[in-house]
A and B are shown apart, each in its own frame.
Chain A
């Protein structure tokens, strides 16, 4: 019988010269591009610094990150899965631009039967979401 003792430690991090900020990202690169790995690493850095990532907006080929059926070789960087992990761990809203998604065959209402090929970690949003993110965030970074 092991009694597990949980120590809850509150650490107040005082970062001199750096305030926690709200940041949002615009992603235009597809999951099989190394540029997307860089983007994910940058988003991860922001989270590690306790910044609030208010949302990620996927535009142009970036929407492909939200496909349910991305299959990359096992020994390669799984960008699409990394986004899903970030979403589930940090509750970061992942917005796919609906019109960009449609153009690339991504839909949550295939043949009007509400079948979807968009992964559940992502939501289809209008371009207006980009405007909202720009208003909410202190910084909007395009990658």
Chain B
């Protein structure tokens, strides 16, 4: 019953990511893409880390690099868009936060 959350907006700008964390369950997966990548440096990221196991937290590498966001492997795993597509296939359902 796990859900894939595609987070595309910055928590510094909108409450989309906060809303996402309000409905997240322990077995879910979060993927940060587009401006959602900025969330890895937001206070709310600590909440994500407390609710979801590190292995289910991802950031699209190219999207992070495009924004000069340093990726700390202690906080998040990198993912390619191809791998995201695999994740979409493997997870029963997804919701997009944008």
Contacts and interface: CB of A to CB of B under 8 A. Distances in A.
Task: Choose among B8, B81, B95 the residue with the greatest number of A CB atoms under 10 Å from its CB.
Answer: B81
Q: Taking chain B's interface residues, is the majority helix, strand, or loop, or is none over half, making it mixed?
A: helix
B53 to A, nearest CB: 20
Size class of A's contact patch?
20 to 34
B85 interface: yes
Contacts of B34: 34-35, 38
A135 interface: no
B94 A141 contact: yes
Interface residues of B, number: 17
Given A35-B8, A38-B34, A51 B96 contact: no
B96 A45 contact: no
B96 A48 contact: no
Nearest to A15: B86
Given A45-B85, A49-B89, A139-B89, 12 more contacts: A18-B86, A21-B89, A23-B89, A38-B8, A41-B81, A42-B85, A45-B81, A45-B84, A49-B86, A139-B94, A141-B88, A142-B96
Interface of A: 17-19, 21, 23, 28, 34-35, 38, 41-42, 45-46, 48-49, 51, 138-139, 141-143
